[in-house]
Structures are given as C-alpha cells and as structure tokens.
Structure 1
Amino acid sequence: MIVPDVTDSFFSKIVEGVEHYTTPLGYMLVLCNSHHELEKEVQLLRQLADRSVDGVLLATPNVLPDEYGANSDFFQSMPLGLIDRGVNQRESGRLIIKEYEGAYRAVSYLLKKGHTHIGLIKEDTSYYQLEERYNGYRHALKDAGVVFKHENVAAASLTVEGGYHAAQQLLKQKKITAIFCSNDAMAMGCYRAIYERKYKIPEDISVIGFDGLSFSSFMTPPLTTVKQTVFDIGFTAAKFIIDAIEFPERRIPNKIFETKLSFS
C-alpha cells in the first residue's frame, strides 16, 4: 500500500481499516510512503510490480500518467486500487465521499447560528485538492444570501501548523466569528491561534473541522466536525482489491460514503 504520508492521522486510520480486512485473510500489508510525489508513486508502483505483489492500494492526490491509468496495460496486469477522491477517471472501483454535502451542512449550521462572517481554512496547492469542501462553503453562503469574500479564505498545508498560520491570518479581520477548517488537524492549529488571541471557543469564535478523527473529541472544547467514516474507506478499499485479486472476472463496484456533522 502506498500513502502520501504515513504520519498523517487520516491515512493512519485508512491503513487501520485496510489491515482489519486483509490480515484475517492471510495477506501481509507492505506500507510505502510517497511523500505526495507523483514520481515517487510511479517508482514504488514499478518496484512493487517487480516484487510480484498480489496487488497495490494507492492513496494519491495525483493524476497518474496514462501508462498507469485505468485503461493501461499496467493496470490490467496487476490489481490496483485507488483512493484518490476520483481524480483518476474510471467507471468502477471508485470510493466517493460526500464532501460537498458535509461542508455545505457545516457552513449552513454556522449560518443558522447567526454567523455571517465565516472564515475558511483550505488546502494549498501542494496537497490534496479538496475542491468539494470549498464549493460546499461557497454555495452555503450563496444560498443564505451572504456575499463570498476572498479575504475570508486562507490557504495552508493540511497540518496543525498550517491551520495555525492560516488562522492567524484570518483573525486579523476582527469581524470573523466562525471558521470552517478543511480538516481536523487544521482545526487543532486554529484552536491554538484563537487562544493566543485570548478569544474563547465557541463564545467568541466557533470552529468546525472535517474528518471526525478520534483526537477531535479530546480538544478543549471538543471539536464539532464533519465526520467521514475513514476506517470504513480503508476497509472497503481493501475488500475491493482482494476481490480483484481473487475474482478477477468480477466488476468492482463503486461505493458512496456519507458524511455527517458530529457534535462531540
């Protein structure tokens, strides 16, 4: 299995779901770190194929070159499962997460609470492009009659540090009363930036994250977050790849994962 960052809490939970399915079936998981780099992913794919592994799960933010795409000889010669938010076009084996709906629901909740100056901390261009979360934010504002403002959006890496620096940028605007973060790690950094300004959560500023990872319930106060079933995504991806290995004649289905707003 190839992941962009083995230290990332999101991918750790994905790997946990994969192992939970594969280990009882006698499969051994070999974990590789691509550091988000397409060149490294291609290198690892070649190396794993040379070692005659049964199949590969690839979690990637990248569009694969044609020679490794869904219609390539490589794809046909070795079972390859993708966890990629659909950036690589294919008709089957897609894991579809309702990210737009989750983001729209979160921002609509803040709007119903009376917030009209809502900041967004989103990913920069160096990582996964979470466009559906950004679209959900914008459309929720539009449907509520609230004008979208570019200055209310800050971009950074999808990390605690990234969230911290992006929140510092947003908090320079005194009107901001709520912040929607593109993942829970960013929300953790956002919390620190808010507390350094001597603000209280949620009395002064409300914060909502995205992912529903376990650490969010141990934040102070517990983080309200859009929960996605990260473990189940890994578990399902593992089922798809094992089915492709053991029953190559079968068509692998697509799977849709719901999201929900979770109040810890």
Structure 2
Amino acid sequence: MRSKMKDVAQKAGVSTATVSHVINGTRYVSENTKKKVYQAMRDLNYSPNFVARSLRSSSSKTIGLIIPAKEMDTSGFFFMSIAHSIEKKLKEIGYQLILSNSNEEIENEIQQINMFKNQMIDGLIMAPTYGDHSYLKEFEDQLPIVFIDRKPEGIDCDCVLVDNFKGTYEAMNHLIHKGHQRIGYISGPLGLTTSDERLRGYKHALLENNLQVDESMIVIDEASLEAGKKAMAFLLEQSKCTAVMIGNNILTLGSVVTLNKSKIQVPEEMAVIGYDNYEWTEATNPPLTIIKQPIHEIGEKAAELLLARLENPQKESSRVSLPSSLEIRSSC
C-alpha cells in the first residue's frame, strides 16, 4: 500500500505540517529535522503524488536542471557550461530552463526535485549525487528524467555519459609509452561512476602493460583544492613515482600548487596529466596535458534525449556514451 504523508510524519517523529514544509520548501525547517524527514521518505519509498500534474491541460514548456556543484569546486564551471548548451538547445523550440543545485547532497537533491514537481515542469535533467536513487522510480513514468555525467544507482533512465574508462586508459598508455612505469593516481571519492571508471581505466592500463598496481601510489580524498595539495605532497614524500594521473580538475589544480611550491620540474621530475580543459590549464608553466570532456555535446544530447522522451514516453531508455580526448601539451 502506498505510504502517505502522515506515515512519513509518524516515522520521522514530526507533524504532517512539518513534512509538507520540508517537501515544498514553504517554511524554515532545521537541517536535523530535514534529514529525519528525508530518511523517512526513503525508508517508506514515499513521493508526493502527481494528481495536480495529471489535471493540467497543457505543457509548461519548462525543464528543470539539477547540478551537484559544491562551493569552491571548479566542477561548477563544468556543469554551468553543460547548462548553457542545454538551455541553447531548448530555446530553439520554445522551452525554458530552471536551474537548481544539490550541493552534492542527496537531501538537497530530493528537496529540489519536489520543488520542481510543484512548479509543474515537463521534464528533468540532472547530474545525480552519491547514493541510491531508487526513490525516483515512484514517478519516473510521470516525470521524464535524463541523467548526465554520472549513472545513478537504483534506477534505469536515459543517460548521457562520457567514456571515463577509455579516457583515463588512453592517457595512462600515453604516459607508459613515454617510459613511465611508476605512475601515481589522485582521485576524488569513489561511489560515483565517473570516479570509479577513471580509477578502473588507470588500473587496467597498468595491468595490460604488465605493470604492478601499487596501492600506495593511489590517493583517494575529497574533491577540493586542499585535498589536491595534500595528495601531491604525499606522493612526493612517500612514493617514487615519475608521473601522476589526476582524476578531476580541482585536484589537478591543488596538485599543481604543491608542485610549484616544491619547485618540482614538470615534466623532467614529474609528468602530469589532469582532467578537463579549463583555461587555467593552458596558463601553467608548462601548459598541462589534460583529458578533455565533450561538455557542449553532453548538454545538447541531454536536451535531445529529453525532448524525444516527451515525444514518446514509452520508448526504451537510452544510454549515450561520448568519447573524451587527450589534449597533449608540455607537462608529459
């Protein structure tokens, strides 16, 4: 039997009015209480119904977009560039885009989705955060969803992804063919398909070239500037690697700061390959070799998939995998 709002309230130990305020964002509710309500919603597989939506006689011509940009994280530029491409594509046929940010927290993500539902959007594009997304099954047949950049857990929907495994694998082979055998790796937290596949590509390239995977040369930490600084400092002090592959942009930036501070000559003493073709990567000395993701194509394809889903809600889900490319500069 479908759970009701009062069931959520009872399980969370709050009033139904509080649950309503959390769902609709109509009044301040403490973060602790929000977490209790969201946990109760997940435990009960509860989602507000779509009666109001089904009674609507026409399209709102509005699409929602949720990105997971954290403060002081350069991924904000990545996702905003994708948002620009989505908006441009949607405008061509008279749709508008509403943007929201989960801040890489699933509770915020749920809140933003509920807000969008109340605004009667026609469809949703989102880069999912960490965690189980089976809660979306409740209404996936009523709200078309396209996932970008990351494949979510617990639900099968249209996705536009980048082949992170192949991109990292090819970058590693470039380093290996340059003669490097001890190659360090710096990654953000695992649990997202992007991070998981990049690490898998790193390890596969080593093993395919009969090189040992040395776990002491793999550093996994939060995706932040400080974490990148510390990770590179650790590799310089504790390992004998001659090259390093870095799994995202903010960690690359932090690593470069440490290399400069330590007066390490790149690439003579340490070859470096990072992720994403941000302008700053060309301004370093020397310019960084990077794995370039097809940012604009991600946005365009996501918009196309969502519009196709609106046109044919019953079609089978699609998974688009776009290639990245290795932009070779002077750092390796």
Q: 1:100 aligns with which of 162, 165, 181?
A: 165
Q: What is the CA–CA distance in structure 1 between the aligned matches of 2:146 and 2:110, rounded to whole Å?
A: 14
Would you say 1:61 and 2:122 are equivalent positions? Answer: no
**Displacement, 1:260?**
1.9
Q: Is residue 181 from structure 1 mapped to residue 246 from structure 2 by the alignment?
A: yes
Unaligned residue ranges in structure 2 (runs of 5+): 1-64
| CA displacement 1:66-119 (0-9 Å, x = unmatched) | 3313xx3x1111112112522336665222321111111111111111111211
Runs of 4+ in 1 over 4 A off after TM superposition: 89-92, 125-129, 249-252
2:110 and 2:131 mapped to 1: Cα distance?
11
The alignment status of 1:17 with 2:81, answered yes or no, reads no
Q: Which residue of the other structure, out of 206, 213, 238, is the alignment partner of 2:278?
A: 213
Looking at structure 2, the residues matched to 228 and 168 of structure 1 have their Cα atoms a distance apart, in angstroms, of 27
SS in 2 for 1:147: coil
How many Å separate the matches in 2 of 1:161 and 1:24?
41
Q: State how 1:27-46 maps to structure 2 within 5 Å.
A: 27-46=95-114
SS of equivalent to 2:180: coil
* Equivalent pair of 1:228/1:259 in contact (CA under 8 Å): yes
Question: Structure 1, unaligned stretches of length 5 or more?
Answer: none
Q: Which residue among 45, 54, 69 is the counterpart of 1:5? A: 69
Q: 2:160 is matched by which residue type in structure 1? A: L
Q: Secondary structure at the match of 2:204?
A: helix
- Percent of residue pairs identical: 28
Distance 1:84 1:62, change over 3 A: farther
> Alpha-carbon deviations, 1:93-149, whole Å to 9, x = none?
222321111111111111111111211001125877611111111111112222111
C-alpha separation in 2, matches of 1:220 and 1:241: 42
Cα separation, 1, equivalents of 2:317 and 2:305: 6
> 2:258 aligns to what SS in structure 1?
helix
Match among 102, 119, 122 for residue 184 of structure 2: 119
Matches within 5 A, 1:30-179: 30-69=98-137, 72=138, 74-83=139-148, 85-88=150-153, 93-125=158-190, 130-173=195-238, 175-179=240-244
Cα distance in 2 for residues equivalent to 1:164 and 1:23: 41
Q: Work out the CA distance in 1 between the residues paired with 2:134 and 2:211.
A: 42
Which range is displaced more, 108-117 or 76-85?
A: 76-85
Structure of greater Rg: 2
Q: 1:45 to 1:32 in 2, by over 3 A?
A: same
TM norm structure 2: 0.72
Partner Cα separation in structure 2 for residue 249 and residue 149 of structure 1:
47
State the structure with bigger RCO (CA 8 A, min sep 6), 1 or 2. Answer: 1
- Partners of 1:89 and 1:214 lie apart in 2 by 36
Aligned length: 261
The residue aligned with 1:196 is 261
For the aligned residues, what is the CA RMSD?
2.2
1:31, CA displacement in angstroms?
0.9
Is 1:233 paired with 2:298?
yes
